[in-house]
Amino acid sequence: MNQQPSAPERLHRKPKIVAAIPCFNEAWCIGSVVIKAKKFVDSIIVVDDGSTDATAEIAAEAGAVVHQHDQNRGYGAAIHSAFAKGRELKADVLVILDGDGQHDPEDIPNLVRPVVDGEADVVVGSRFLGEGRRPPFYRRLGQRVLTTVTNLGSGQVLSDSQSGFRAYSSKALKELHLAERGMSVSSEIQFAIGKSGLRVAEVPIDVSYMDKAKRSPLGHGLSVLSRLLVLMSLKQPLLLFGVPGLALLAGGLVLGARVLAIYGDTRELAVGNALGTILLCLAGLLALFAALMLQAMKELLRGEAAHLQREMREHAPGEEYSKGKGGSQ
């Protein structure tokens, strides 16, 4: 008879650490990244997001298991595949790192330690902690903007919301369900962390920008910011529209009071201030209306989803019982 491992044995069992590397046309560097990372993990998955060069072949020769997309679907889609493979391999810890040599695999032990020690479910490698090298100034500026907006919308405060060097526990892999297919997936994960109640930590990492950026930093930043605002409109409509709406309405009322004061003193209408009052009040009311409508839709969808989940839980046991009863006759 097979004996199950005791609690102490399970406690001291060596955790299974899997590294997943999303990449697109990284043939020049992917081999060295895989070889360096192999020293710190049990297995490596390379998610080749429709590369047109020899990325897949070189990664396989270096010792990685390659999962290929038939076409370029985006970074978020690659992360989605990496999570699926991590669950499939029953990884205790899944490490995500870039395939362009930006991340140093030597940082993997520090990255996974909080997960292995049971201190966190998600660990983010921050480029803005410690004394390591920093990204170029123009990148830091854009990343700070995106991080600030993501922190406000998600309620989770991180120093580097856009970092692609992360570690996830098996619990996080089960809890995180992603929809974004582009670069905004990092922000979506931060929103999902707060919703799922997962514990998050940050550790300092070193980065190296050896190659010219594949995409325009400005275009990339604006693309992520636009998707981030869409996420906020869906998940935090009161914050995105309600707070500015209240501010606009308050400004309109203050300006309106000034119009009345001027009229009381001079018996003349300050036309410019009056028009400003009307515009500010209208804009504020429209923003508040949008916030309330989106919040109502959000609550309605949440209620429908919860109702559907309850129905599934209620019907599943009855179906299993009837099948078991029928089989015993």
Q: How far is CA 186 from CA 26, 207, 288, in A?
A: 21, 17, 29
Q: What does pTM read for this prediction?
A: 0.70
Domain boundary among 212, 235, 258: 235
Among the residues of 38-155, which ranges form H helices?
A: 55-62, 75-88, 108-116, 137-154
**326: pLDDT strictly greater than 80:** no
Please tell me whether residues 271 and 241 are part of one structural domain: yes
Phi, psi (degrees; rounded to nearest 5) at 44: -130, 130
Give how many domains the chain has, as a whole number: 2
- Calculate the CA 273 to chain-centre distance: 44
Where residue 314 falls among pLDDT bands split at 50, 70, 90? low
Instruction: For residues 210 and 319, state if they share a domain.
Output: no
pLDDT at residue 265, rounded to an integer: 86
3-state secondary structure at position 271: helix
CA distance 111 to 35: 18
- Looking at 235, 253, 269, which one is the last position of a domain? 235
**Residue at token pair 């205790």:** 92
Closest CA to 66 of 106, 99, 111: 99
CATH number at residue 86: 3.90.550.10
Give the pair of three-digit tokens for residue 327. 């089989």
**Is residue 263 predicted with pLDDT exceeding 60?**
yes
Model pLDDT, residue 323: 39
Smallest CA-to-CA distance from 271 within 283, 262, 282 is with 262
Q: Is the residue at 2 inside a domain?
A: no
Residue ending a domain, choose from 235, 262, 284: 235
Residues 41 and 120 in one domain: yes
For residue 277, the enclosing domain spans: 237-328
Phi, psi of 23 (to 5 degrees): -155, 160
Residue with tokens 């078991």: 324
Span of 109-118, 205-214, 258-267, 299-308 with lowest mean pLDDT: 299-308
d(CA 184, CA 227): 6
Q: Are residues 230 and 243 in the same domain?
A: no
pLDDT digits (tens, 9 = 90+) for 119-159: 999 999 998 887 766 666 667 787 888 888 888 888 889 99
Task: Supply the DSSP string of 129-147, one letter for each residue.
Answer: STTSPPPPHHHHHHHHHHH
Q: Which residue has the tokens 């559907």?
A: 308
Chain centroid, CA 141 distance in Å = 19
| pLDDT of 178 strictly over 90 | no
Indicate if the pLDDT at residue 292 is higher than 90. no
Q: Looking at the structure, tell me whether residues 69 and 212 fall in a common domain.
A: yes
